Structure 1
């Protein structure tokens, strides 16, 4: 292990991660895990293991400090997979230009992951009285199975607080909505298009459902304070076999952004209520209807009143030299799973979220440097 001020290497670590084309679901996600393992072996005094291997989306879990389960504890969290680099000319260059780190993942969220890694390595060289964890996933941009599976494993950590280094422009986000995807399948009966009366048209049923669902589903959803309205978005439609065949099947997939303790099952029940209403309409074809929850990711609503959060926020504010804004997050993140497993969590990291997933993705270098310092001070406030 190299003994030095590792915080100064946060940007270098970010460049190392950006150079790995770790698009979610590709073999390169294993390569980026190995890159982090190499950093930890050189710059930290820690133990690490690969969790959630059965999911095909490996999760790196590293630990340093006390093994006492009653010791003060903190987890640094993030993901090191990225979305495909659509529209980017040199997405893996990790070039620094005009004070910004360029490349896919520089914002979402390898800049933040690098800041967390640097803070973890620096803290690991100290005589920590508390317990410090680092967890990095590789499928946050797809189906998010890895971190859930890792937290379900025997002996998985349950720290006093998790800090997730998503791009927040060095502010704090402690709430976001949950997200559920529900597919609605319509099964009719095929026939030749010259004799449509012999068939049951699944696409017509789906079309009538869409018209009704656009009105009724929002009416069924409850509004909640603090994290924005619940939303319904009909995002995928498919069906039909050929232009001269009455379609026997069709499907509609709906994205629900929900509040608090709601879940995909509740959204599914609302869909079935809409279908029952439609069956009273004589124009609705006599199709069979089934629903499948294809994804369900829980909401985060984390109180910042607990001692661990108060310590961390005070340390972050001392590092930045000003009071930090606390607001909800519009999208979804792995803090939802932290909340589901009883771990208080908030987001704090470098970069502007509006640039994530865009051809112009980049992150201010000073953001990464400041985030590393602030996260390190939060760690020491809790674990030193």
Structure 2
């Protein structure tokens, strides 16, 4: 490391970083709930105290995106960080108040500690330290609302923001400090099946939406096997998951309506509307062929409720090599991998045409969305140091 890098890292204090993360956790922003504003206003105050130019962009009443520029004349550009202000509902099973952050040894516990108040706090600490020692380096943070539900914030951002030039994008989601070079796209599909109600004593007078839904679920199960047999060489296979099924009015009534919520992870080249249309067509054919169903009384329709594009950065790209090397310099493994989750990085990679990776403190599978969610304080510090070094090194590379 050179002298500038050592000076920047020396200013990132682990205990100050932990306190910052606690502040963010204690500004609740549950979604569903639509109450991200308290967290965003805290972020605005923190970033303005650093000298950032901060713009709030309301995607809906009380639900502001935040766009902050620091350094380089506050003109944007440089390294772009991406995060989100909302957290999933706390739910039950906590040992203490989920929004009163508490410290147990090296771990900070509270809703959002991992996903992703921890990543946001590390970004702010990195931006502060870089700007203190190298104010000519431009840094940008975009923090969206509604990432955990319907992507309202990021969709509003890309519909209003002009495409800008950035050196790279770091999505500060929890990756256990592994550099994620890509993820599949994600679509939330809603399917409604309408049948005909009748008395359960003579069910043939009606048409069961639940039995038709069972045919749809069976069809999806068969398609899962086909998808598993044809994986993408890097991203793996596309997948289905039937997450919700709501139907019926009582045990003595033939159900006339059924609603299914379906998750579909998509590979490059797949279009969510085309996937849905193919599913509905195959389901109609299957229902018509089923001897126990009156297809004339059954209708099936659906819609794409949310779509989050995927992305894939070449593992040999300069950004990936630089991020992995930086993590190794800090004592981390410096590995890269693929994410099974989804994130908003695909929107940014596509809209700004910028190389993108996901990197952050915390573990998405064992901590995010769990009771007693927690993050390692030492990992917060490593993440902040990595973000700072990446910003310095990306800028230096761009000048050569």
Output the TM-score relative to the length of structure 2: 0.86
Please say which of residues 363-372 and 201-210 is displaced more in the overlay: 201-210
Aligned mates of 1:80, 1:343 — CA distance in 2: 22
User: Which residue number corresponds to residue 377 of structure 1?
Assistant: 389
Question: Could you say what secondary structure the match of 1:328 adopts?
Answer: strand
1:127-178, Cα deviation, whole Å (9 max, x unpaired): 4444321111232222121022113214364423111111222221111122
From 23, 31, 45, the equivalent of 2:51 is 45
What residue in structure 1 maps to residue 4 of structure 2?
A: none
Quick one: distance in 2 between partners of 1:173 and 1:273? 36
Question: Residues of 2 paired with 1:68 and 1:368: CA distance?
Answer: 26
1:211 aligns with 218
Cα distance per residue 1:102-150 (max 9 Å; x no partner): 2111111111110001111222334444432111123222212102211
Q: Distance in 2 between matches of 1:308 and 1:129?
A: 21
Structure 2 counterparts to residues 326-341 of structure 1, below 5 A: 326-341=336-351
Seen in structure 2, the aligned counterparts of structure 1 residues 95 and 160 have a Cα distance that, compared at 3 Å, is same
Q: Are the structure 2 counterparts of residues 55 and 283 from structure 1 closer, same or farther at C-alpha, using a change threshold of 3 Å?
A: farther
- 2:173 aligned to which of 166, 178, 181: 166
1:285 aligns with 2:297: no
**Residue 12 (structure 2) aligned to one of 7, 10, 13:** 7
What is the CA-CA distance between 1:372 and the residue it aligns to?
0.8
Q: How does 1:196-345 map to 2 (within 5 A)?
A: 196-216=203-223, 218-219=225-226, 222-278=230-286, 279-286=288-295, 287-318=298-329, 320-321=330-331, 324-341=334-351, 342-345=353-356
Which sits farther off after the overlay, 193-202 or 265-274? 193-202
The one-character-per-residue Cα deviations of 1:153-208 (angstroms, maximum 9, x if unpaired) are 14364423111111222221111122212222222222333343332222222222
Deviation sequence 1:281-328 (CA, Å, 0-9, x none): 44332111111112221112122544455444444443x146510011
What is the CA distance between 1:215 and its match in structure 2? Answer: 1.2
- Between the aligned partners of 1:312 and 1:216, the Cα distance in structure 2 is 37
Structure 1 residues 113-122 or 147-156, which shifts more? 147-156
> What residue is the counterpart of 1:175 in the other structure?
182
Residue of 69, 77, 82 corresponding to 1:77: 82
Aligned residues: 378
Gaps of 5+ in 2: 1-8
Per the normalisation by structure 1, the TM-score is 0.89
Partner of residue 121 from structure 2, selected from 94, 98, 114: 114
1:205–1:284 CA contact under 8 A, matched in 2: yes
Separation in structure 1 between the aligned mates of residue 183 and residue 156 of structure 2, nearest angstrom = 21
8 Å contact 1:45–1:121 — kept in the other structure? no
Q: Name the stretch that deviates more: 259-268 or 113-122.
A: 259-268
Q: Distance in 2 between matches of 1:244 and 1:322?
A: 61
